[in-house]
Amino acid sequence: MTAPDLRALVEGATSILLDAGVPSPRHDATALAAHVLGLDRLELVLPPPVPDGFAEQFAELVERRRNREPLQHLVGTTGFRYLTLLVEPGVFVPRPETEVVAQVAIDEAARLSDPLVVDLCCGAGGIALSVATEVRAARVVAVDLSPEAVDLTRRNAVAVGADVRVEHGDVADPTLLGELDGTVDVLVANPPYIPPDAEPVDPEVRDHDPDLALYGGGLDGLDVPREVLRAAARLLVPGGLLVMEHAEVQDAAAREAALATRAFVDVESRPDLTGRPRMLVARRAAQPHVTDSAP
């Protein structure tokens, strides 16, 4: 009996992943085959020969993907804008929708001559490293509470050749980056924001992304985003831009939280690529920040 060729193996894997409910079975099967072959991408029009041991390695990865282990964990990387980032278990996997958030920060930084950009809750570093590589004049600082995320962002910075300062810190710490108070031009964040009663549907997220990067705290999931707002009010220069991702059902609450600080003007929600309101954008007011104790 003739051994199956690569195209047949990928077709079989596609069927397995389709039956398991994997959202993009053919893409994932092809990506796993390319990974086993050591290729960046795989064209099946003229498939390469199947090397010894390929079928066994491929089958093992397909089985893990069938059980909804994230594709990014299996291949060890993911694409984010123009970058290929290292990803690994224990650190939030960057998502395509966050590329739109990064774009707003990049556009703002690009129009300034010497921008200082801070990325809070940086995860694997996708936003910070995109700013640093697409706006070469930018000085970029990335912060995360997770030591694993800090370590991964530092390694990704080396891998993509970006000069980024990466710090371990808690966005709720009122002294975080205190030496930068009032000097930051753009503050961008993709903080945890999922409410406690809104468990993610996708097993890849629910079972594999760390809770620290998912759940925002409080009944509405906005405790951490509110801390981002407080940090932004302290760190941004007058006229500086805040860009913060949130869930589509949180747009009104996020705007209200920003307005409640009395530190921001031009507060608005902006859509993602599907038209859903997924980010808060606001400017630091020129007037001094009014504290909670004010009448």
What's the pLDDT band for 4 if we cut at 50, 70, 90?
low
Query: Residues 183, 188, 192, CA angle at the centre, nearest 5°?
Result: 130
pLDDT for 2 equals: 44
- Ranking 3-17, 48-62, 196-210, 222-236 by mean pLDDT, the lowest is 196-210
Between 217 and 233, whose confidence is greater? 233
pLDDT value at 210 more than 90: no
Work out the percent of the chain whose per-residue pLDDT is above 70: 95
Token pair belonging to 222: 């906005």
Residue type, 187: L
3-state secondary structure of 143: strand
Q: How confident is the model at residue 51 (pLDDT cuts 50, 70, 90)?
A: confident
Q: Which 8-state DSSP code applies to residue 50?
A: P
Mean predicted lDDT score pLDDT of the chain: 91
C-alpha 261/C-alpha 240 separation (Å) is: 15
Evaluate whether 225 touches 216 at the Cβ level (below 8 Å): yes
Sketch the domain layout of the chain as residue ranges: 6-67, 80-284
Average pLDDT (150-177) is: 97
- Does position 190 have pLDDT exceeding 70, yes or no? yes
pLDDT bucket at 45, cuts 50 / 70 / 90: low
Bigger pLDDT: 5 vs 184: 184
pTM above 0.85, yes or no: yes
| Topology adopted by domain 80-284 | Rossmann fold (3.40.50)
pLDDT at 294 over 60: no
> Out of 21-25, 71-75, 214-218, which region has the weakest mean confidence (pLDDT)?
214-218
Question: Which of 53-67, 175-189, 209-223, 246-260 is the least confident region?
Answer: 209-223
Query: Would you say 151 and 190 are in contact if contact means Cβ atoms under 8 Å apart?
Result: no
Nearest partner of 115 among 105, 126, 104, judged by Cα: 105
Q: How confident is the model at residue 295 (pLDDT cuts 50, 70, 90)?
A: very low
> For residues 150 and 48, which has the higher predicted lDDT (pLDDT)?
150
Query: Comparing C-alpha atoms, which of 278, 219, 224 is closest to residue 248?
Result: 278
Of the candidate ranges 38-42, 59-63, 123-127, the one whose mean pLDDT is the lowest: 38-42
pLDDT for position 191: 96
